[in-house]
Amino acid sequence: MTCLGATVARQVLDPVLAVVFPSTCPGCQAMLDHPTRGPLCASCWSNLPRHIQPLCACGGPCGAAGPCGRCRRNLSPIRYGASLGPYAGTLRQLIHDLKYRGQRRVATRLAEILLSREEVGRLLEPRVALVAVPLHPRRRRERGFNQAELLAEALGRRARVDLLRGVLVRRRQTQSQTGLSAARRRANVIGAFAVRRPETVAGRRLVLVDDVVTTGATALACARALLGAGAKDVRLLAAARVL
């Protein structure tokens, strides 16, 4: 469906759905006038949590002296990074709706909001390509989708940026990162990722896409695999970040 067709469909469906299947916004409990636009009302969409503290060029929290420790020591494999806001409040709720409740339209709205940000536009310069953080095939079958890939697909369509599918793979099923310490997260993903068809990424600038970055262990492991396969540089784009 074209963007115009989708807009017309929403204009027709929204009034009907609002009456027949009334629902409330989980952020403020107001009734939803535009349910096809996702689980939040227009006000809560506009007021999603945003970063207010300075961030390092890699997208992580700054150190006391400016850049983060990894970047000061030239140890970060990620050249640039950006995210919409902290993993909290309504942004956290949205990611949960996408990841655990299968509300795929959330990915589309998050992509729209991300692309309105100046720092995201700088990441998506001409000739970059998107790579989604992969799930293990077993986890993907259980969930039915990869939320990072849904977000990357929506970004690629709107920004007209290529998405490299199936290039980065998770070759072993790791323990869930939830609840692990930073050190255990890093150990958990050592050797977990590999690149198929290295010639596809060789010499290219890549934007790694994920829904949420916690300690960055998964993103760093993915970036190292891509650089090891010959990528020119790797940037990181996420909907939310734990700071």
Does 181 share its domain with 219? yes
Q: Helix or strand or coil: residue 84?
A: strand
Element (H, E) at 218: helix 217-228
Does 137 share its domain with 153? yes
**Average pLDDT along the chain, 243 residues, taken 10 residues at a time:** 47 44 71 71 87 90 82 91 95 93 92 94 92 92 95 96 95 63 66 90 97 92 96 97 90
Determine the structural domain holding residue 26 and report its residue range: 16-46
Q: What is the pLDDT of residue 235?
A: 97
Last residue of a domain, one of 46, 67, 84: 46
Backbone φ, ψ for residue 95 (5° rounding):
-65, -35
Does 20 share its domain with 119? no
Does 21 share its domain with 59? no
Q: pLDDT tens digits, residue range 157-194?
A: 999 999 999 999 998 666 565 665 666 666 667 778 99
DSSP state letter for 37: G
**130 within a domain of the structure (yes/no):** yes
Q: What is the pLDDT of residue 52?
A: 87
**122 within a domain of the structure (yes/no):** yes
Does 70 share its domain with 190? yes
**11 within a domain of the structure (yes/no):** no
Last residue of a domain, one of 46, 68, 84: 46
Does 39 share its domain with 92? no
Q: Helix or strand or coil: residue 161?
A: coil
The one-letter amino acid at 93: Q
**7 within a domain of the structure (yes/no):** no
Q: What is the pLDDT of residue 37?
A: 65
Cβ–Cβ under 8 Å, residues 207 and 126: no
* Full-model pTM: 0.84
Q: What is the pLDDT of residue 154?
A: 97
Does 29 share its domain with 142? no
**Cα→Cα distances 57→72, 121, 237, Å:** 11, 14, 12
Q: What is the pLDDT of residue 125?
A: 87
The tally of domains found in the chain comes to: 2
Does 70 share its domain with 139? yes
Crossing angle of helices 105-115 and 147-159, in 10° steps, is 50
